[in-house]
Structure formats: structure tokens, C-alpha cells
Amino acid sequence: MTDTSVHATPAADTEPKGELSIRTLAMPADTNQNGDIFGGWLLGQMDLAGGIFASKYTKSRSVTVAIEAMTFRKPVYVGDVVSVYGTLVRIGRTSITVHVEAWVQRRNESNSILVTDGNFTYVAIDDSGHPQPIKRGSASITT
């Protein structure tokens, strides 16, 4: 039995939640020695998508400060179309937390499959790299 207390809850989701941030194709150059897509590649795609989502709210540069509750549920294969969605979890004074889900569409399947999800926290920074307050009302904020 696996302790899931530190991981995201198991998903029975059948469709993505949130806003589409990026869509890309898993390519052979992104594979490990066994021919599966590197988890790090997928994590990078999720970080990019979360950053795009966060930037709509911060209206400034932002940097990743934490990734929590990351759960790798299914493998990603060469040829899978990877779509990454973001949902606002929380906005603080200088930080924003985004729930990020990665879904794949496999070549011979009609339904999308949730492969990975987690919470990413970003901090808004100024041009000198110092944290700066997120301007409320600079984007439509819905939770």
C-alpha cells in the first residue's frame, strides 16, 4: 500500500479542468533510454504552462518558487499530443499558486488521459529580481 498523504488526490477526471495554456507533441528527442518521454521534459512543459497562466494575473515577470503535490499518473509516449491546463488555486500578496494538469491524446484513442498534475507557485518579480505585489484588478481574477 502506498502512502498518498503527500500527493495530489487520485483523479477520476474524464476531462481537463482549467484553461488551456500550451499544447505540444511528444517527440523522439524527448525520450529516455527506454523510449518513454522523460518526466523532466513533462515537468518543464507544465512549468511553462503554469508560468503563462500566472503571467496573465501578475502582469510582470514571475519565477517558479515551489512545485508541490506532483503526481505522475501515466506515461507519455512519442506521438502523444500533450495539452497542459491551469486553474487558479490562490493569489497572495506577491505569489500565485496554479494547479496544472497535463493531458494526452494518444494516436489510437479518442479520449484524453490525465497523465500528470500538481500545484506550482510563482512569485511576481520586478526588473531587479525582487518580489513585487501582484496588482489586483489587472486581470479578471476568478477562483
C-alpha cell of 7? 500527493
Mean pLDDT of 129-134: 95
- Would you call 19 exposed, middle or buried from its count of C-beta atoms within 10 A (0-12, 13-18, 19+)? middle
Give percent above pLDDT 90 in the chain.
76
Mean pLDDT of 42-68: 96
- pLDDT category at 6 given cuts 50, 70, 90 is very low
Instruction: Quote the pLDDT of residue 134.
Output: 95
pLDDT in tens, 57-88: 999 999 999 999 889 999 999 999 999 999 99
Instruction: Quote the pLDDT of residue 136.
Output: 76
Q: In what order do the strands lie in the sheet with 61-72?
A: 19-25, 81-91, 95-105, 112-125, 61-72
Query: For domain 19-125, is the CATH number 3.10.129.10?
Result: yes
Mean pLDDT of 82-111: 96
